[in-house]
Amino acid sequence: MWFIQAFVVGHDWGAIIAWQLAIFRPDRVTALANLSVYYIPRNPRGSLVTLMRKSVGDDHYFCKFQLPGEAEARIDQVTYDGFFRHVFSDKFATLLPDWSKAFEEKGPLPEWTSEEDLAYFISEFRKHGLTPAINYYRALDLSWELTAAWTNHKVMVPTIFMIGDHDLVYHFPNAKQDIERMAERVPLLKKITVVEGANHFLQLERADIVNDHILQFFKSF
């Protein structure tokens, strides 16, 4: 019988999907390397949106993204150019405390990207707008409802995890504690790497480090 197994790499929402793949079909995952978004099992007390709202309030972008049209209108105000310049900059972390001020400051592009890259991202997102991407956040409550059978489920595939210490995710409520105890939830976790001075787009900003860690890990199989 034809059977596919894969080495899986994920970042941000890709990491969330990769965690879910490893939960639903561990037989298909040879090994997993995830960046930025650490594993948190489904919490019976509520979805991530519910817990985030209780923890940090309604101004967190997870909460603001739940309102159809509001996030899109805010991003339209600053233009796609302004939005992506902010997301790629060190100021991306200001999304965390206060959505209303999230895009007020825009700096130059970092060294790891270019004006050509920016133009490409803008042209691609203009084809369908940002709503399809933001809908991932709007589906969090539904995803929580549909995955009751996997409450507190452990990830049972060999895994490594990497994150920058300037990544906004690293500064979410309880993030450092959750990362430190991730081996309890991912028993086959082989390594956690916190990259000093690195931000959210670790695979671009520190490509050599990320590639070396992933290749070294995957070559062990």
CATH class of 6-41+153-197: alpha beta
| Average pLDDT of the segment spanning 188-212 | 96
Q: In angstroms, rounded to a whole number, what is the distance separating the alpha carbons of residues 171 and 179?
A: 11
Summarised one tens digit per residue, pLDDT across range 109-140 is: 899 999 999 999 999 999 998 899 999 999 99
- Please write the tens of the pLDDT for every residue from 46-97: 998 998 888 888 877 888 889 888 888 888 877 888 888 888 877 666 555 4
Q: Are strands 159-164 and 29-35 parallel, antiparallel or unpaired?
A: parallel
Burial class of 19 by CB neighbour count within 10 A (0 to 12, 13 to 18, 19+): buried
> What pLDDT score was predicted for residue 12?
96
* pLDDT given for residue 92 in this prediction: 65
| Stretch(es) of the chain classified as CATH 3.40.50.1820 | 6-41+153-197
Q: State in Å, rounded, how far the first CA of the chain is from the last one.
A: 22
Q: How many CB atoms lie within 10 A of CB 64?
A: 18
Rounded to the nearest integer, the mean pLDDT of the chain is 90
- Tell me how far apart the alpha carbons of residues 129 and 72 are, in angstroms, rounded to a whole number: 8
Active-site annotation, residues: 12, 137, 200
Higher pLDDT, residue 87 or 35: 35
pLDDT at 56: 80
Mean pLDDT (whole number) for 180-191: 98
